[in-house]
Structure 1
Amino acid sequence: MKAFQLLPGVQQASEGSSMFLVRGGGADQNLLLLDQATVYNANHLFGFISTFNLEAIKHIELYKGGFPARYGGRLSSVLDVKMKEGSSEGFHGEAGIGLITSRLTLEGPIYNKKASFVFSARRTYFDVVRRLIPLKGFDIKYYFYDLNGKVNWHINPKNSLYLSLYTGSDKLDIDEAVQIGLVKTNYQYGMNWGNVTSTLRWNHIFTEQLFVNTSLISTKYDFQIFDKLSREISDDKYRAETDYLSSIRDLSLKTDFDYFASLSTTIRWGGGFTNHRFDPRIIKVGTEPSTATNITNYEWALYGEYESKWTPKLSSNFGIRLNSYHFDQKNSRFVEPRAVVSYQINNSLILKGAYARMSQFTHQLSNTGVGFPTDLWVPATKKVPINLCRY
């Protein structure tokens, strides 16, 4: 993520942060994908460390504008991250201990080299080090972890299944105890946030030139702030609790066809459907029933692409995408043409021109600009219109 911030048109969202902005767009206008699953908060340690564990990553590609028609839902950029598939030749692993995090990665075959797996874990140990420092009447605990896993099964020469899983979370807990005379007060507060994604992909090969990927994708992002107050005066006890929660849940089904017409020409087409459920505010006070704001909407898309390399130096990608957004019994449809032409002048210089129209149906409400988990994701409504962009 730090390396991407050095590219032309990309800059840091704030000093030291792993978040990035592309050509004047907001951080929420970048689409972050982990094996096709959307990652809504890709940061640990309040934005200073990325959730993407390099030990589990095979390939990363950043589109900074004029991205292909198979991508949609954001205006500025697409960061497409693909996980490793695991070695089918033999079992091996690696581990590392750092000043901030430690990590472990294992991979190997499962059954007769037809299936393999990769598993990677990463965790900080601020909370472990904290126990070595005595603090009277005050305690602070913080840690984050990542777990990545992927299993692939080559059923036969024409069919394969891939299951990708990711979960990661940050946990901050602060305890403070104060005693003044006969009054004992204990105050506990903190916050938790994290992502859970899963992708089940079926790859089917029709011919040497044509294959299809069908994917079922699930994404969940949760954020919680809590505080607990307990006070004891002689035999009288008082206790109060407040929880504030926010969450997003997506369920998607998509199909993508790839046809290699020749060594220099590829044709792609497909579509997908996504159901969004937003819970931007759930408040629970003590034992009272929680008050929740629930918003559900869905969107679907169809696309087609024609990619060709006309000469060793000249290449192009032309496509069109049809987006539809449904909310509050109202449908909004958008036609999005895409065109990118690039010419490689020499080994270090490429000239590129692009035209695109994009639409974005989700927004991030932020008052910090740093990428705190307190930033809320909400769908487009009558009061918060759909973002449209043309360039």
Structure 2
Amino acid sequence: MAFLFSVAVVPAMAQKVTVGGTLKSKANGETLIGATVKVESVAGTLTNEYGFYSLSLPAGKHKIEMSSVGMQTQYIEVDLSKDTTINLALSDNSRDLQEVTITETSKGRSLSSAQTSVERLTAQEIKNIPVLFGEKDILKAIQLLPGIKAAGDGNSGMFVRGGAADQNLILLDEAPVYNASHLLGFFSTFNSDAVKDITVYKGGMPAQYGGRLSSVLDIKMNDGNNQDFDVSGGIGLISAKLNVEGPIQKDKSSFLITGRRTYADVFLKATDDYKNNSLYFYDLNAKVNYTLGEKDRIYLSGYFGKDKLKAAFGDDDGFGINWGNATATLRWNHIFNNKLFSNTSFIFSNYNYKISIKSGAYDFNIFSQIQDLNLKEEIQWYISDRNNLKIGFNSIYHTIRPGEVTSGDENSIGSQALQKRYSWENAVYATNNWKAADNLNITYGVRVSAFSILGGGNFYDVNAGGEVVDTFKYNSGQFVKTYVNLEPRLAASWQFNPTSSVKASFVRNTQNLHLISNSTSSSPTDKWIASTNLIKPEISDQVSVGYYKNLGGNKYELTVEAYYKTMQNQIDYRDGANVFSSSNAIETELLYGKGRSYGLEVLLKKKVGRLSGWISYTLSKTERQIDGINNNEWYNARQDRTHDIAIVATYQLNKKWTLSANWVYYTGDAITFPAGKYQVDGQTVYYYTKRNDYRMPAYHRLDLGATCKLKETKKWSHELAFSLFNAYGRENAYTIYFRDVKNDPTRTEAVKVALFKFIPSISYNFKF
């Protein structure tokens, strides 16, 4: 009774009121994500992904501090007697241009938050990293962080904590992007000029994210300047870009249009041998938003990108491939009151590719597509200064065309098509951030997903030998099977003191869309398939623990994390599988089993001073065990690497010159090489034993960069950016193949193929 009485009287003794609102930049009107709002020794919070905050305080006088990285801290003195709304625009940090050394304290990683295994990069950090062809690239920069492994030279695919390339959920303004690469992986689809915020979750994903096993890359586009018109752009050796933004109605609405195109095809047309060939991509980002009032704001954003590759073999013959993404997101933010915020989103996403082949009498096209229609709703309820609840649902209708062949040749191979697949994916979720004590924060939640396979075709029963033994026909709209999965999430942090904490998390994820690929890296011709009556949802369980420490007066961040992940229903191919045949059910080519990955990640980051950057190291192991492969024993996954190191440094030489460098090293990928050979009708045939039992040579590379500011004023700036990719000319193996020695067919030689040696580049960037 005494305990119940004490709980009941506390609210009466300490009356609470709520202050809430939106923080934005005074310079351009962009909402500020992750800005800090706090009252010393009383309470504190961060703005959400739309700049909204809510803070419960005792009634009375308070001095509220509002701050964000790169912005001037502001203090508001208030006398609170009732719930109050405070919307504020923060000014840019106006340092003296003569001062080079950055002296402000970095905000850095939150030590108190229960969120584990999350990394964030700013646009400025990405801008200074030297990359291939000088094109600043979000995915290339992320691959320099621990636990995130590059797929290889010039490739934007990535492997996160032992996951495959398709196990990463990539979102652009909430819309999934199914192939995030241009020019066969040399560039990513994301134009850094259009991006405001980049967050990647490697573990402990919040419950609002689902559908992938390994990671979430959540990218938010800029909203557009609602104060003044801005034009910026750049011209490089192989590409050019332009960004235009400004107010439609000052303080209320704005627009953003960003375009980019390569012009390698221009150089091809200038040659006699390649004038009929094409090799280019273009992409376009656009966004408009409108403030309907103090409580409502709508956003409409879209992305469209296309690649075209054509190789001509004569006047008429040739090979071509076109692929591209299109996304659109309509969002409505509504503030019910200072404690209740909602976001409603209607989302469209489409990815397709078309291959055209013409050779003599043969003329045919191959087409594949995945398309989504998506409705999302989320409510954020700031219950008190100790509880913040999110609840929501997500409903997606998937349409997949795995492959269609149309032919117009005189020897017609006929039109063939793998069956279209339809599915309906639904999820509801709830998660609560609970401040259990002054130094203990706990996040707990659950996601319930239901994946329904819809009819409109045949489904199969396959025996252990990969043969179809029965066929079931379902009419359009019929429910074939529904997989329901419970996905709990739990995370906690214990803060020892103002500079150090430990965190731990557990998360279960499920995945119902699977990428069929014959290579370790993502390719535009990879084929997406959905779960079927035989292909079950992939499931992963991951445990993460970490130690976090701020050093040197918060100038340095040290992060040490360990993880262990188990995976169910992992997919691999039968020996000799032909996964691109249109005549066989895909289930006949696949085998299923389990996987595991575990590792240790270390990140030391310096964000203050003339010299900034980070050192990351990953020690990891990734394995699969699938009946029918490798004598049913555990074997290395294709993305298994033991060691992965990255060193990134930026040095502010003076107010005009900025120097940068990054060095990477990683153990060679696991690969299957032939164990022997034999002759059949005079032809050499190689035979293979253990799966992925060999290693590619170790990979390492140094990139250098320099940026020279030609002129900078409040209204105009321009600069030259120089970079040298692979500065010491390391010939890293892209692939290795085997052949008979020319003068002695009994002997075999391995031939290494490297893509790049030295790649210098220069680009000119401007803004006014």
TM-score when scaled to structure 1? 0.91
Residues 151 and 521, structure 2, Cα contact 8 Å, conserved in 1: yes
CA distance in 2, matches of 1:62, 1:84: 17
> 1:166-205 alignment to 2 at 5 Å?
166-177=303-314, 186-205=316-335
CA distance in 1, matches of 2:222, 2:398: 28
Shift of 1:32: 0.3
What is the identity, as a one-letter code, of the residue corresponding to 2:303? Y
Between stretches 161-170 and 3-12, larger displacement belongs to 3-12
Between stretches 30-39 and 45-54, larger displacement belongs to 45-54
Which structure is higher in RCO with an 8 Å CA cutoff and minimum separation 6? 1
Shift of 1:135: 1.6
Alignment partner for residue 374 of structure 2, among 252, 257, 262?
252
Change (3 A) 1:167 1:242: same
Change (3 A) 1:219 1:348: farther
Residues 14 and 369, structure 1, Cα contact 8 Å, conserved in 2: no
Change (3 A) 1:345 1:126: farther
- Give the gaps of 5 or more residues in structure 2: 1-138, 455-478, 543-768
CA distance in 1, matches of 2:153, 2:388: 41
- Give the gaps of 5 or more residues in structure 1: 178-184, 231-238
What is aligned with 1:86?
Answer: 224
| Partner deviation per Cα, 1:301-347 (whole Å, 9 max, x = no partner) | 00001113556764332110110110142222111110122345688
Matched, 1:356 2:507: yes
| Partner deviation per Cα, 1:170-212 (whole Å, 9 max, x = no partner) | 10011122xxxxxxx7312110110000000111110011111
CA distance in 2, matches of 1:37, 1:11: 23
CA distance in 2, matches of 1:60, 1:145: 22
Between stretches 366-375 and 338-347, larger displacement belongs to 338-347
Matched, 1:150 2:287: yes
CA-based RMSD of the aligned residues comes to 2.0
CA distance in 1, matches of 2:255, 2:179: 26
Larger radius of gyration: 2
Change (3 A) 1:194 1:75: same
Matched, 1:116 2:246: no
What is the identity, as a one-letter code, of the residue corresponding to 2:376? K
Change (3 A) 1:112 1:10: closer
What is aligned with 2:198?
Answer: 60
CA distance in 1, matches of 2:187, 2:278: 18
Matched, 1:275 2:401: no
Change (3 A) 1:373 1:154: same
Shift of 1:273: 0.7
Shift of 1:140: 2.1
What is the identity, as a one-letter code, of the residue corresponding to 1:96? G
Shift of 1:4: 1.8
What is the identity, as a one-letter code, of the residue corresponding to 1:316? I
| Partner deviation per Cα, 1:247-271 (whole Å, 9 max, x = no partner) | 0010011100011234453210010
Change (3 A) 1:371 1:346: farther
* Identity across the alignment (%): 41
> 1:363-374 alignment to 2 at 5 Å?
363-374=514-525
What is the identity, as a one-letter code, of the residue corresponding to 2:518? N
SS at match of 2:420: strand
Alignment partner for residue 224 of structure 1, among 346, 354, 357?
354
- Which structure is higher in strand share? 1
What is the identity, as a one-letter code, of the residue corresponding to 1:211? F
What is aligned with 2:482?
Answer: 331
What is aligned with 1:102?
Answer: 240
Shift of 1:161: 0.9
Between stretches 58-67 and 6-15, larger displacement belongs to 6-15
TM-score when scaled to structure 2? 0.47
Residues 333 and 341, structure 2, Cα contact 8 Å, conserved in 1: yes
What is the identity, as a one-letter code, of the residue corresponding to 1:356? V
CA distance in 2, matches of 1:244, 1:97: 35
Between stretches 185-194 and 167-176, larger displacement belongs to 185-194
| Partner deviation per Cα, 1:119-171 (whole Å, 9 max, x = no partner) | 100111100121222327x7321001110001001111111110010001110
Alignment partner for residue 266 of structure 1, among 388, 396, 399?
388
Alignment partner for residue 276 of structure 2, among 109, 129, 139?
139
Matched, 1:213 2:370: no
Between stretches 158-167 and 258-267, larger displacement belongs to 258-267
Shift of 1:74: 0.6
Residues 165 and 521, structure 2, Cα contact 8 Å, conserved in 1: no
SS at match of 2:427: strand
Change (3 A) 1:289 1:366: closer
Alignment partner for residue 424 of structure 2, among 293, 298, 313?
298
CA distance in 2, matches of 1:315, 1:59: 25
SS at match of 2:267: helix
SS at match of 1:293: coil
| Partner deviation per Cα, 1:206-257 (whole Å, 9 max, x = no partner) | 0011111111100000011111235xxxxxxxx5420001000100111000
Matched, 1:317 2:455: no
CA distance in 2, matches of 1:76, 1:256: 23
Matched, 1:161 2:298: yes
What is the identity, as a one-letter code, of the residue corresponding to 2:242? L
What is the identity, as a one-letter code, of the residue corresponding to 2:302? L
Shift of 1:113: 3.3
CA distance in 2, matches of 1:134, 1:82: 44
CA distance in 2, matches of 1:77, 1:338: 14
Change (3 A) 1:13 1:347: farther
> 1:63-78 alignment to 2 at 5 Å?
63-78=201-216
CA distance in 1, matches of 2:185, 2:496: 38
